[in-house]
Amino acid sequence: MVKNKKAAKKFSDDEFWVFGYGSLIWNPGFHFVEKMQAKIFGYHRCLCVASTSYRGTRENPGLVLGLDRGGSTTGIAFRVAKKHVNDVLAYLEDREQITKIYCPYFTKAHLIDGRTVRAYTFVARHDHEQYAGPMSMEKCAKMVASGVGEKGSSLEYLANTVEHLDQMGIKDSDLHKVLKLAQNIK
């Protein structure tokens, strides 16, 4: 989040970037003109959102990723052409904000080429009923293994995310462990 005017001047008004840390990495679903690996600070990727529609149901929630407080996260930043910004914002609102579990947020994203851009992303809300918070890997794996919703299984979601993180050279050992445990439950 841009906290002061001095920091805000570092961002270009002519650019709009979206930071993806989970399924947006492998399925952005919107038009972009550039994508690049990027890192943000202050938030980490975490299986902390109980999915009650896309990857689970109210009766049997799956588990998906959110950005949670602390640490850092490497993902993908997508630059959106100015003429598509409103369409992309509307698309992301429809996709990510069904239950308002996420708080839309602007943060500094440090691109792999050395640039720093202002990026739009979504942070998990601790005050929301779907916030699953920290839990054991075993409990995460059970939710991942059993959750199936409108967009498929939580297991498929996690496997796709881990595969694409691996392709980017980002090793997330906790996600690998949860995936392996969940695959063994199935």
Rounded to an integer, what distance in angstroms lies between the CA atom of residue 92 and that of residue 82? 16
Closest CA to 134 of 123, 142, 126: 126
Residues 6+ apart with CB under 8 A from 50: 56, 61, 62, 63, 130, 131, 132, 143
Q: Does the active-site annotation cover 96?
A: yes
CA distances for 61 relative to 83, 121, 138, 170, angstroms: 37, 23, 15, 27
Q: Are 67 and 45 in contact (CB under 8 A)?
A: yes
List 34, 59, 96, 163, catalytic entry: 96
- Strand, coil or helix: what is 184? helix
Closest CA to 157 of 185, 127, 139, 178: 178
Active site residues: 96
